[in-house]
Amino acid sequence: MKGSTLVLGVIGMDVHAVGNKILEYAFNHAGFNVINLGVMVSQEEFISAAVETAAEAIIVSSLYGHGQLDCRGLRSKCIEAGIGNILLYVGGNLVVGKTSFPEVERTFKNMGFDRVYPPGASPEQAIIDLRNDLWLREEDIHGRSKEQMPNH
């Protein structure tokens, strides 16, 4: 898990860079190899970078409220590119309006995202989730038990 490669970026026409840099720092500090694509990243750029680097996860950020539109079809494109099993995480201010977070989370999970984070979520929670999700993937491959999962 340490040293696992993540592709990180801000999707669509969103130019919110500060949170992206905070996430890059947090994931790097936690031992992950972060490929930060920056802001205004297309789905195709996320996928190309993930394929080129054999990334285990794509981390999508969106703060301008159009994440639902920008992320639609990402899982399908990952499948088409041969990386259908990649972990997909998304977080931020993902929709415009007063939609409850449980509804937003349900929408994005139905779109194929593994984890969905609300505005203000801590990078530490995503790091814990990522370590656990990567461990569970390795468990499936190597037959490890949940009791052997490292403490985070």
Active site residues: 14, 16
| Dihedrals phi, psi of 7, to nearest 5 degrees | -105, 125
**How would you class 33 by CB atoms within 10 Å of its CB: exposed for 0-12, middle for 13-18, buried for 19 or more?**
middle
